[in-house]
Structure 1
Amino acid sequence: MKHVFIIGSKGIPAKYGGFETFVEKLTQYQQSKEIKYHVACLSNNYDEFIYNNARCFNIKVPNIGAAKAVIYDLYAIRNAIKYIKENEIQGAIIYILAARIGPFIKRYSKILKKLDCQLWLNPDGHEWKRAKWNFIIKKYWKLSEKLMVKNCDLIICDSKNIELYIKERYKKYSPNTTFISYGAEYEGSKLDDFDEKVLNWYKSNNIKENQYYLVVGRFVPENNYEVVIKEFMKSKTKKDLVIVTNITKNKFYEKLKENTSFYKDKRIKFVGTVYDQQLLKKIREKAYCYIHGHEVGGTNPSLLESLAMTKINLLLDVGFNREVAMEGAIYFLKTNSNLSQKINDLEFISKENIKILENKSKKRIINEYNWKGVIEKYERLILKSELEYEVEVSLVGDV
């Protein structure tokens, strides 16, 4: 039995977030009975429970601001090591999601080596580029990333661009990397068009099907909300710009209001968050076009979901987005009037070309980013490490 301890997500059942959804799907679609998952969950207690046949162990962390996530990972790795020792588990894998605890990892790496355990990392994206961090925190993220890469046995990247970045930036450490993409569901919404939940959402937000451009994502500057809103306001479309995001208690919202005066344009509609996944699928399906301004990080879950559901996808032209969508999308630049002109052009796109784009985008998800395929790759990698561990043990025994 191969034991895999997953640290760094907020835990399962997943309520939101890319890593949380990944862990949910990893356990939900598990095929091999030779793998046992142990999932750290952020909580206010130390309870344990079983979910998707995974052992979930709660980690209680004091609410200390930005450092909370670092403390959470440290508590979780200590808990995992304690469990491994108490249960005399051989050849376990500690899989850490996000490179938050680099300055502390060397100590734990040595302990894990003595226990014949492997340390794996998913570095996520360029966290140190996020605008929300001050200079000191950005410096910490850079240092942490370097030390995590240096001390981990394997780095799993969900973006080929991130893998290339890791290999080039940390070449002197000869990092052992592999690429396994993030995943997405490609089945349509289970809700029909006349479901009361669907009708109420459209009515309450004064939105009509196929008469809106859609934005879904975290409400942070690096997702280029300001560029998207300013350019949309310049466009001639009569359709709405529907923005699904959380703006409560967010200083960025007030700054955006001041910089764009979007409240003067009746087409701009902030509609809050939508946590009902079937409803969100329906909203994506019924959008005229999805606009994606993300430029920091690797493969973005929101982009994958949109490529699977929305007919037209209009993406910021950066390597991460092109890697995923390829010819299944239209691309825009942040230069003045580029996006607004793309929007104007889309008002006259033929039904035939819309269908071509839709088919290409969905094909990308079905062929390259479906969850079952992603999980199969993970299981092969995990079980391969089990075989390698057994060979090492047998060789030691022969000496």
Structure 2
Amino acid sequence: MTDATRRPRVAIIGTRGYPSYYGGFETLVRHLAPYLWEHGWDVEVYSRPGQTVPAEADPRIRVRFTPGVETTSLSTLSYGLTSTTAAAARKPDVALVMNVANGFFLPALKARGIPVVMNVDGLEWEREKWGPKAKQVFLAGARASARWADQLISDSTNIAAYWKRVFARESTFIPYGGECDETMLDSAPVAALDGLEPGNYVMVAARLVPENSIDLFLQAARDLPSSAHVVIVGGGDETNPLWNAAVALRAERPNVHLLGQVKNDNFLNWLWANAGVYFHGHSVGGTNPSLVQAMSCGAVIVARDSVFNREVLGPDGHFVPPEAGAIAREISAVLAEPETRAQMSKQASARAEDFYSWGPVLAQYEQLLRAELTTDSQKESLTEFA
């Protein structure tokens, strides 16, 4: 194949891998990797051993595993180092890098003449789960990303404004997408959840960390109507105080369902679509992928008040201050009004369709990557395949 007709090659760096279900980046890559291949790209995704689902692999996507250190403080940096150096050696036509912690390693790509498009994600250095040293590392990585990346992607207009104000860098706003229809709903696991029926439960689905308001939700759950079931989706163990608090709540209230991490996307979609209320407590970050997916499923959403949640949910959203009493009162009020819930569900799904559909999101990524191809022959070859 000549240079004029070969498919451009993109390396995706900084996620758990492909296909993986860990978080928002992984959800994006599950959609983006095959989309890019179908639009003329060769795609390689750098991955962590044990973090992908081989049974769901797509043979069109090349998965490259690199080693790393599996600790809270070193995993992101160690895998970022090995994947970036491996990608630099293979010299793709462009690199899509996720997470500013990988900003330290961008010079390895730049030294090889590889254009870098980076998704900056949220403001990791403001998350409560990180100690002072980790926050300093993330902030330093953000500064390195601002210096070395050719193009930046912000998943929120508020994040874009922050980067322009603090780091003097423009970025392209591309949110996350969502999709949900009847074929993507699976109620089968509900049979194991005694008493759970559409509309009779309140749920939260998030990592059990402070900035997701899990502690406030657990406190609020004690003041919800006794008839309301409580569903908690989020992994943890006895080393996590919030997990222990959820276990204690379950011991107090027999209608609490502590599900841990749910890896069945269709089951999670069913939970969102049929919840009496979904509480979204995320306080740090931009466009949250879980929130967008819940909206696509027509979830009835009560969200912690923040500029990011207001941006996504829009003027019809229901917001509460970070106070357990206020959360309990708002959730209880919504539960008591079936007509209100029906209206909230329609508004959420309509807004998701209008602003957060995967098609336009993936097209914007592809266009931004195409713009970074360095030769006319590369751009022409991509046009032929598109």
Which band: TM-score by shorter chain? 0.7 to 0.9
Tell me, yes or no, if the aligned pair for 2:217 and 2:324 is still in contact at 8 Å.
Answer: no
1:390 alignment partner AA? D
User: Measured at CA, do residues 110 and 41 of structure 1 come closer, stay the same or move farther in structure 2, by a change above 3 Å?
Assistant: closer
1:396 corresponds in structure 2 to none
User: Which has the larger displacement, 92-101 or 230-239?
Assistant: 230-239
CA deviation after TM superposition for structure 1 residue 257, in Å? 6.1
CA distance in 2, matches of 1:335, 1:71: 38
The CA RMSD measured in Å over matched residues stands at 2.9
Partner of residue 362 from structure 2, selected from 375, 380, 384: 375
Q: Runs of at least 4 residues of structure 1 off by over 6 A?
A: none
Q: Residues 198 and 254 from structure 1, CA distance in 2 versus in 1: closer, same or farther, beyond 3 angstroms?
A: closer
* 1:126 matches 2:135: no
In 1, Cα distance between equivalents of 2:261 and 2:72: 23
Residue 13 of structure 2 aligns with which residue?
Answer: 7
**Offset of residue 135 of structure 1:** 1.1
Aligned equivalents of 2:116 and 2:141: distance in 1? Answer: 15
Cα 1:384/1:262, change in 2 over 3 Å: same
Partner of 1:111: 111
Shift of 1:68: 2.1
Deviations 1:182-225 (A, max 9, x none): 111122354565xxx2342333xx42332101111111111111
- In structure 2, the residue matched to 1:243 is 232
Question: Displacement, 1:327?
Answer: 3.4
Cα 1:378/1:282, change in 2 over 3 Å: same
Alignment of 1:196-345 (within 5 A): 197-203=188-194, 206-236=195-225, 238-253=227-242, 256=245, 263-335=251-323, 337-345=325-333
Deviations 1:122-143 (A, max 9, x none): 1111111222211111111111
- One-letter code of the match for 1:51? D
State the one-letter code of the partner of 1:73.
G
Distance of 2:214 and 2:368 partners within structure 1: 38
Whole-angstrom distance in 2 between the partners of 1:392 and 1:41: 26
The answer (yes or no) to whether the contact 2:156–2:286 under 8 Å persists in 1 is yes
User: Aligned residue for 2:180?
Assistant: 186
Give, as a single letter, the amino acid of the residue that structure 2 aligns with 1:98.
N
- Give 2:384's aligned residue: none
Deviation at residue 383 of structure 1 after TM alignment: 2.1
Query: How many residue pairs get matched?
Result: 371
Contact 2:177–2:357 (CA under 8 A) maintained in structure 1: yes
CA separation of 1:230 and 1:64: change in aligned 2, threshold 3 A: closer
Please state how far the C-alpha of 1:322 moved relative to its aligned partner.
1.0
Q: 1:165 to 1:284 in 2, by over 3 A?
A: same
Shift of 1:169: 0.7
Deviation string 1:284-307 (CA, Å, 9 cap, x unpaired) is 222111001111111111111211
Measure the CA separation in 2 of the matches of 1:139 and 1:82.
29
Give the alignment's TM-score, normalised by structure 1.
0.84
Structure 1 counterpart SS, 2:46: strand
Calculate the TM-score normalised by the size of structure 2.
0.87
| Counterpart amino acid of residue 220 in structure 1 | V
Please tell me whether Structure 1 or Structure 2 has the larger radius of gyration of its CA atoms.
Answer: 1
Structure 2: give runs of 5+ residues left out of the alignment. 1-6, 380-386
Gaps of 5+ in 1: 394-399
* 1:376 CA drift (Å): 1.3
Relative to 1, partners in 2 of residues 1:340 and 1:65: Cα closer, same or farther, differing over 3 Å?
closer
CA distance in 2, matches of 1:191, 1:176: 39
Counterpart of 1:202, as a letter, is L
Secondary structure of the 1:215 match is strand
| SS of aligned partner of 2:101 | coil
Q: Distance in 2 between matches of 1:254 and 1:391?
A: 54
